[in-house]
Structure formats: C-alpha cells, structure tokens
Copies of this chain bind each other. A is one copy, B any other.
Amino acid sequence: MSELAEDGTSTSGGEAGVTRGGRRGDLFDPTCATRKLLDRIGTKWTSMVVKVLAAAGELRFTELRGRIPGVSQKMLSTTLQNLVADGLVARRVEHTVPPRVFYRLTPLGDSLEVPLAALREWAERHMPEVDAARADVRRAAES
C-alpha cells in the first residue's frame, strides 16, 4: 500500500499567486483522493443523507427531508445532485401527477457506507472524550 501519494502541487513556484487578480478555471488540485472525498462528505448534509438512505433503502425527496431535521430543500437538492453526479446515489422518477422522485444508494454508495459507518461508530464512541478534552482546555485557558 502506498502512502504519501500526494505530489508536490508546486504551490510555490512561478505560476502560483494569480489568486489576487482573480483567476479562471484554476486547478489547485493536489490529486489527493482522500481530501477530495473528505471535501465531499464533509459538506454539511452529505453523510447524513447517505446514512438515512443506507438505513431506509429508498426514499422520496420529502421523506428524506423529514428524516433530516434542519435541512433546507435547497441544500437537500444540491446535496442529492452532487451525490447523483458522483455516482453514489440513484435517482428514479415516476412521471405521475404529482411527480414522485425516489433516491437510493448505488452499490458504490453502499460501499462508501461501510467506512462511513466505521467513522460514525468512532464518533459515537469517542466524541465525549473529545468534548471533555475541549472543556479541559477551555478551563486551563481561562485561569
């Protein structure tokens, strides 16, 4: 297994620093697959959508909304579009009146659910410790 796969990116160098005047279509990409993935699942609702779909199998837009408290329809829509574009979620439309749209995980999405579930388990198991550590630091900083 290869580790440290990321190449240099050459952030410093001749061609960087165009940032200030405004640049078009740049690619700042370090080709780090993990970071790209984390950028995706790190967006606020993505992991939750995946989780809910993994648990429920197939859901309609509104059902999804109902199971994800606090999400706006815009963000749910955007999140789903991204997931569909990424090939993680399949979208099925029934052209009735009113229309019904179903979402479910693709096999790829299902395979992502595995490491994601592991992360969830870690979170539920260890986040209390993290919070305790934070509280600790806060107290130390105040005195």
Tell me the A residues contacting B by CB distance below 8 Å.
1, 3-9, 11, 14, 28-30, 32-39, 41-44, 47-48, 51-52, 55, 67-70, 84-88, 108, 111-112, 114-116, 118-124, 126-127, 129-130, 132-134, 136-138, 142
**Chain B residues closer than 8 Å to A142, beta-carbon distance:** 11, 14
Whether the pair A85, B137 counts as a contact (CB closer than 8 A) is yes
Whether the pair A4, B55 counts as a contact (CB closer than 8 A) is yes
**Chain B residues closer than 8 Å to A114, beta-carbon distance:** 118, 122
Q: How far is it, in angstroms, between the C-alpha of A32 and the C-alpha of B123 when the chains are bound?
A: 9
With beta carbons under 8 angstroms apart, the residue of B5, B88, B122, B130 that contacts A86 is B130
Whether the pair A32, B6 counts as a contact (CB closer than 8 A) is no
